[in-house]
Amino acid sequence: MRFTTTSMALALAGSTMIAGAAQAELTGDLKIFLDTSNPAPRATMEKMIGDFAALHPDLNIETTVIDREAYKTQIRNFLTADAPDVATWYAANRMTPYVTAGLFEDVSDLWAEPEIAENLASTKGAMTIDGKQWGVPYTYYQWGIYYRKDIYEELGLSEPATFDEMKSNCQVIIDSGRACYTIGSKFLWTAGGWFDYLNMRTNGFDFHMALAAGEVKWTDDRVRATFANWRELIDMGAFVENHQNYSWQEALPFMVKGEAAAYLMGNFAVAPLREAGLTDDQLDFYQFPVINPDVALAEDAPTDTFHIPSGAQNKEAAREFLRYVVSADVQTEINNGANLGQLPINASASVDDDKFLNEGFAMLSSNSPGGVAQFFDRDYPAEMAAEAMQGLQEFMVIPDNLDDILNRLDKVAERVYAK
């Protein structure tokens, strides 16, 4: 049994011998390519692969780690020329080009197995194209509204369950001299987060993804209804002023200083908020409220994935590795705070004793979400996402420009999706 790790990013090579007494039927070589080049995720992945290797002593495993940005430019070449047996990537639209090109293996058979079907149900949509599944997720994290619990308590507010309650809370917050929400839209994607949630809550997950796929016009009345809901918040002064001049990090102090009461953001915002001095007694989290009671609550949860290239040489071992990655015990281990510090995708896994991770896990693994979106700039083709996010930020600053923005985006969409 041989387990070798190479790093193309640092031009370092080495091998680690991992002994295992377990007997298995898997033989041959298993080549795994990873984009987890940062130290903590790299160590997590290498340990997981080493543990798998110990269970299969007759399997030779070779792991190659490529710098994440370099990986994005190299993936099509290595999938085409000399494919590994397993490769990391991303869910939903980000995997579409490789599915369309026939470079990813259909693994719907794995998703038909009860262990996966029952415990990974909430992420199935993100792995599905044309009714088939093309990989498995291994980690994700929630989005939602992080808020100053102490400010809400001071003002006699509770977590809103509906959009009307959200707006009512917002008016009380504004009357107290604060903004309801901080946001930094300088780099555009934060505006994409607001559109994701408003559109999924107004029109539902399927409509949201149809728009992302170019099947719905931006000038559609249903899209206009999303912007009408958004404009209600803009017109009442819900957002901090001049947000177009701030990055997402530069918008954090408004919440830390109590000048804004909440932030629609991913769970990665918790650490800097804590580092800035906010305690867990001051911070809390709630799911984005209901707008249209006739649509299920879909969520943004960017998901990292493993795939079997169609040119893989050892697909039997690759499938067994994917089963191993998504198993409850492995999911618990790799996503704990000492490793990835994110959410396990298996509903039977355990989560570290962190209140935000636990709330996010309960929200995403309940099998009740009306879909899991990957976030605006992952769900849309890159060119469409860039143009659309510019329009979303423009709308937040000059909402009267909506007609021009939507007409412009329709023209962009005609060009992008025609390709």
Domain identity same for 320 and 248? no
Q: Give the per-residue SS3 of 94-137.
A: HHHHHHHCCCECCCHHHHCCHHHHHHCHHHCHHHEECCEECCEE
Report pLDDT for 12.
33
The structure tokens listed for 220 are 């559609």
Report pLDDT for 247.
95
pLDDT per position as a tens digit, 167-199: 999 999 999 999 999 999 999 999 999 999 999
Domain boundary among 372, 395, 410: 372
The structure tokens listed for 351 are 């989560």
Report pLDDT for 102.
98
Domain identity same for 396 and 295? yes
pLDDT per position as a tens digit, 105-148: 999 999 999 999 999 998 998 899 999 999 999 999 999 999 99
The structure tokens listed for 163 are 């959009």
Owning domain of residue 398: 143-300+381-418
Report pLDDT for 341.
87
Report pLDDT for 3.
60
Report pLDDT for 5.
66
Domain identity same for 215 and 158? yes
pLDDT per position as a tens digit, 325-351: 999 999 999 999 888 989 999 999 999
Confidence band, pLDDT 50/70/90 cuts, at residue 21: very low
d(CA 346, CA 333): 12
Domain identity same for 272 and 389? yes
Domain identity same for 346 and 409? no
CATH of residue 64's domain is: 3.40.190.10
Q: Is the dihedral of CA 271, 247, 361, 381 positive or negative?
A: negative
Domain identity same for 55 and 124? yes
- Mean pLDDT value of segment 237-258: 97
How many domains does one find in the chain?
Answer: 2
Q: Which residue has the higher pLDDT, 69 or 250?
A: 250
Strands 303-307 and 136-140: antiparallel
pTM of the model: 0.83
Domain identity same for 250 and 392? yes
